[in-house]
Structure 1
Amino acid sequence: MYVKEMLITPPDDSSEHGRAKAVIRNYAAHDFEELIRVQAESFPPPYPEELLWNQEQLSSHIQHYPDGAICIEVDGELAGSMTSLRMQWDAAHPSSHTWAEVTDDGYIRNHQPDGNTLYIVDLCVRPKYRKWGLAQLMMQAMYHLVIAQGMDRLLGAGRMPGYHRVVEQMTAQQYLDQVAAGERHDPVISFLLRCGRMPVGVASDYLDDEESCHYAALMEWRNPFKAIHI
């Protein structure tokens, strides 16, 4: 069971609350209803409602890979969550995949306990807690999990919600290249870059996501304590 407590400062320095207590821990069955509410707030329309977590999926997460199912609380309120699974990934011959394929439609029954890669299934933070650095804290917890369990890398596909604004002007790969070069800002990809993730390609038809034109950026963080030969 993973538990980490810390004090964090709200983004508004004039906040009457001062410093807040944040706790990162594995989520459990008693969190399910609130986790579903957090997802609904984090991914409003046009994000498809059917892609939000349900009780059966959350139950499957803690059954198949509880280590990869974490949440963060701020002063006792559930503020966000992050879910992952282990899989075998051949970096020399990466295969095209969709979110549904790689995550077993969000149930992660395809979790491989000896997989060399930690694959990020989902990351969300309640809008009221954005800019608090909570997503970065959960990402760091996942990096520690990669190291602790001796995996090669953390991998995941990030939404590109800014792409729909320029889809007539460039390909998804060109958009990703410009964001990675700092020539353009994307709310998700730019955040992942700040977290140390590096782009390794673009997945088409990854998710039913109008803002990203159904594309996603495949992004990696390599375990610095392991030599990976490609």
Structure 2
Amino acid sequence: MRKELIVYADGAPKKIVIRNYGLADIEGMIEIQRQSFPPPFPAELWWNEAQLNEHVSRFPEGALCVEEDGRLIGSMTALIVDDAQLSGSHTWATITDNGYIRNHAPHGETLYVVDVCVIPAYRKYGIGKWLMQTMYEVVVHLRLRRLLGGGRMPGYHLVSDEATPEQYVEDVVNGQRRDPVLSFLLRCGRLPVGVVAHYLEDEESLHYAALMEWRNPFYNQE
């Protein structure tokens, strides 16, 4: 997969390419993480070469990157899971195999988002939304039922004394509150289908995440 786009921030255009990443992009993928999550974020939580090798070999269709003038500036990774893997509660670590996606299930019907990331200097260009749109296209191309993933709730810790996690998500949906991540996902067309506790070590979200879904409008179960 490869497509070219012009994106704008403050009237300044940038020509970008969204494509599948491969083995030759491993260092560039790690550099995205390095710039996006500088210290004190622990470097051992960045993508590593073994994880990226698994992404490329197991499910290359779900391995997307953004390139601008030969430099990688963003990425999005996903795997396919089946309904059995989603039964009951899950965490980011269990559903993504700690980011290694060795549990990728080609027979499944849900494309599950592992990670989406854009380096700070390019976050005003709408690139995250284009990555999401491209992953929706993967869902349609592979005739899957939906896209799903856990969305952080970084604003929740500020109001946890006055709202449950479920109420917080509902307030964001209704426009009564704004959340940096959930509001972005809503603008991308995803809708909440539940809240998961202990999803990720994330103090701002108090370790909660909202499961956010996009349904394939072309999906036909028959």
Which residue of the partner structure matches residue 23 of structure 1?
17
Which residue of the partner structure matches residue 75 of structure 1?
69
**Structure 1 SS opposite 2:83:** coil
Task: Give, in whole Å, the separation in 1 of the partners of 2:193 and 2:40.
Answer: 27
Which residue of the partner structure matches residue 10 of structure 2?
12
Which residue of the partner structure matches residue 99 of structure 1?
92
How far is 1:46 from its partner? 6.2
After superposition, the C-alpha distances for 1:44-99 in whole angstroms (9 at most, x for unaligned) are 46655433211110111001101100000123221100000001137xx8521000
1:165 aligns with 2:158: yes
Which residue of the partner structure matches residue 115 of structure 2?
122
Which residue of the partner structure matches residue 207 of structure 2?
214
Aligned pairs for 1:17-96 within 5 A: 18-44=12-38, 47-89=41-83, 94-96=87-89
Task: Give, in whole Å, the separation in 1 of the partners of 2:30 and 2:47.
Answer: 6
Task: Give, in whole Å, the separation in 2 of the partners of 1:25 and 1:190.
Answer: 26
Aligned pairs for 1:120-159 within 5 A: 120-159=113-152
After superposition, the C-alpha distances for 1:11-51 in whole angstroms (9 at most, x for unaligned) are 112xxxx4221100111122112211211322346655433
Task: Give, in whole Å, the separation in 2 of the partners of 1:131 and 1:70.
Answer: 19
User: Are residues 49 and 172 of structure 1, via their aligned partners in 2, closer, same or farther at CA, if it must alter by over 3 Å?
Assistant: farther
User: Are residues 124 and 228 of structure 1, via their aligned partners in 2, closer, same or farther at CA, if it must alter by over 3 Å?
Assistant: same
Which residue of the partner structure matches residue 110 of structure 1?
103
Contact 2:28 2:71 in 1 (8 A): no
1:3 aligns with 2:2: yes
Which residue of the partner structure matches residue 198 of structure 2?
205
Q: How many residues align?
A: 222
Give the residue type in structure 2 aligned to 1:123.
V
How far is 1:169 from its partner? 2.0
Contact 1:88 1:117 in 2 (8 A): yes
Comparing 138-147 and 71-80, the one that deviates more: 71-80
Give the residue type in structure 1 aligned to 2:7.
I
User: Are residues 45 and 215 of structure 1, via their aligned partners in 2, closer, same or farther at CA, if it must alter by over 3 Å?
Assistant: farther
Which residue of the partner structure matches residue 184 of structure 2?
191
Normalised to the residue count of structure 1, the TM-score between the two structures is 0.91
Give the residue type in structure 2 aligned to 1:169.
E
**Unpaired stretches in structure 2, ≥5 consecutive residues:** none
Contact 1:154 1:220 in 2 (8 A): yes
Give the residue type in structure 2 aligned to 1:8.
V
**Structure 2 SS opposite 1:19:** strand
User: Are residues 139 and 220 of structure 1, via their aligned partners in 2, closer, same or farther at CA, if it must alter by over 3 Å?
Assistant: same
Which residue of the partner structure matches residue 176 of structure 1?
169
**Unpaired stretches in structure 1, ≥5 consecutive residues:** none
1:226 aligns with 2:200: no
RMSD: 1.9
User: Are residues 157 and 35 of structure 1, via their aligned partners in 2, closer, same or farther at CA, if it must alter by over 3 Å?
Assistant: same
Comparing 122-131 and 169-178, the one that deviates more: 169-178
Task: Give, in whole Å, the separation in 2 of the partners of 1:118 and 1:46.
Answer: 31
Normalised to the residue count of structure 2, the TM-score between the two structures is 0.94
